Chains A and B, each alone.
Chain A
């Protein structure tokens, strides 16, 4: 994750999408924090299997993918409704 281009813009796009996740108190569908941890682990495995883009030489994971999922969780925690 040395190049700041894909990491920064992946985080910004994930943050925009994460602020729209709302948690409703009295509905029957509840998603606690543990689901987001499981999704994070699965996303880490997926990023390792996808590999970087063809001309990038910095890391062995897809850095845009990981930055997006971190941005979604950060958006939900910080500005979630």
Chain B
């Protein structure tokens, strides 16, 4: 790969990662959300991995990091669902917006995303799914690049 690419790619990948996080965080207002933002962050990592090669990549996702982040993503979704089951009678109940008005105000204020919009637990679900998608796509590309 040429020298111009090697100078340009690392700062550009940092900015693309920040843009991906912006799309995850605005999932309940603008088009986007967890899956799309996670794919953008994975795209920035793959950009670095293809240009620099796996040995000299500034971003290094080790095997333990990939496994633990994937588990945190899936378990976060399930724990939010089970807390909805625990505090009210429904699985994945939106505890920040209380449509049926069956939980006390203290719990509703705790789970609400602090925001001008009244979104409840939807941004937390977006963040957790975004972490899961970025780690999943990066793991597949790393496995393909290591094959001789």
Contacts and interface: CB of A to CB of B under 8 A. Distances in A.
Interface of A: 3-6, 9-10, 13-14, 16-17, 20-24, 27-29, 31, 35, 38-39, 42-43, 46, 50, 53-57, 62, 64-65, 68-69, 72, 81
Interface string B51-81: 0100010111100010001000000000000
Interface residues of B, number: 33
Interface stretch (B86-94, B103-111, B112-120, B140-148): B112-120
Nearest to B130: A13
Nearest to A17: B17
Interface string B24-41: 111001100000000001
Contact of A55 (B17, B114, B117): B117
A27 B60 CA distance: 14
24 contacts: A3-B116, A6-B25, A9-B127, A10-B21, A10-B25, A13-B24, A17-B41, A20-B60, A20-B61, A23-B58, A27-B56, A28-B56, A29-B56, A29-B58, A31-B58, A54-B29, A55-B116, A55-B117, A57-B116, A64-B21, A65-B18, A65-B19, A68-B18, A72-B18
A5 B113 CA distance: 6
Interface string B1-22: 0000010001100110111011
B29 A55 contact: yes
B35 to A, nearest CB: 15
- The prevalent SS among residues of A at the interface is helix
Contacts of A29: 6, 52, 56, 58
Contacts of A65: 18-19, 21-22
User: Which of B59, B116, B123: most chain A Cβ within 10 A?
Assistant: B116
A68 B17 contact: yes
A75 to B, nearest CB: 12
B114 A43 contact: no
Contacts of A39: 11, 14-15
A78 to B, nearest CB: 16
Contact of A53 (B30, B69, B127): B30
B10 A31 contact: yes
